[in-house]
Structure 1
């Protein structure tokens, strides 16, 4: 059985419950769903685009703890509070990824006080 290792960084929001920011098992890294809270200030941007950028910066920080980047992402799952925000979200999301883009699922979800949440799976080096 492949052991699992929890990753933690102060450069991303801390878990609000009994879960890890990310888990590495073998050559796969799984993140928790991250919202748009700035870990330094606690602030949450107003627009979907700015929230998306902050969520992706949070994910970058967690990946960096294992020497990975968003280029290592295989799959993302995106939760939007309002699917009519898809175009604005998608334009901001595109700024952080290059081809070949990770596979992605985008769903409408009830989110508590935020507009976007994203988690990802990445292939990493042991």
Structure 2
């Protein structure tokens, strides 16, 4: 049995899926982007006079996507420290990896306690964003819970 999670503090999903799904003590987050939850604006995107996207600020988008992940974790009863695996999708790996990696290091300064991470360069995402994260967390049992499974 699984439980779908909706996070009011995160931007609405762009499709027919939940923000996350809990299965036992595992939490699977759907792809999370950097959209602003209140306005749906994409931080760091730059447009020309005709409204065409001409550039983006990966640091602004990385900070926003990490804030959105945190909001989904919180709505799920999880903590930042519960993250165990993160897959990162970048639309411009050559340009953005170094700056994105610097932001990551601010949020996860100790590699020994950071989640595992895979970063992939892809051609595009469903909306004009430059980064998306797919995360898995392991939910800790409540304080005082029996971890042995016994009675």
Q: Which category of TM-score, normalised to the shorter sequence, fits these structures?
A: over 0.9
Q: How far does residue 86 in structure 1 lie from its aligned partner after superposition?
A: 0.3
Q: How far does residue 98 in structure 1 lie from its aligned partner after superposition?
A: 4.4
Q: Which runs of 5+ in 1 are unaligned?
A: none
- Count of aligned residue pairs for this structure pair: 124
Cα distance between partner residues in 2 of 1:68 and 1:98: 20
Aligned alpha-carbon RMSD (Å): 1.2
1:4 aligns with 2:2: yes
Cα distance between partner residues in 2 of 1:17 and 1:45: 20
Aligned residues of 2:82 and 2:140 also touching (Cα < 8 A): no
Cα distance between partner residues in 1 of 2:114 and 2:133: 15
Q: How far does residue 66 in structure 1 lie from its aligned partner after superposition?
A: 2.4
TM-score for the superposition, normalised by structure 1: 0.92
Q: Secondary structure at the match of 1:95?
A: helix
1:63 aligns with 2:73: yes
Q: How far does residue 4 in structure 1 lie from its aligned partner after superposition?
A: 0.3
- Whose radius of gyration is greater, 1 or 2? 2
Higher relative CO (CA 8 A, sep ≥ 6), structure 1 or 2?
Answer: 1
Aligned residues of 1:37 and 1:55 also touching (Cα < 8 A): yes
TM-score for the superposition, normalised by structure 2: 0.78
Cα distance between partner residues in 2 of 1:69 and 1:93: 17
Aligned residues of 1:37 and 1:43 also touching (Cα < 8 A): yes
> What do the CA deviations read for 1:43-80 (whole angstroms, capped 9, x no partner)?
11111011011001001001001221221100000000
Runs of 4+ in 1 over 2 A off after TM superposition: none
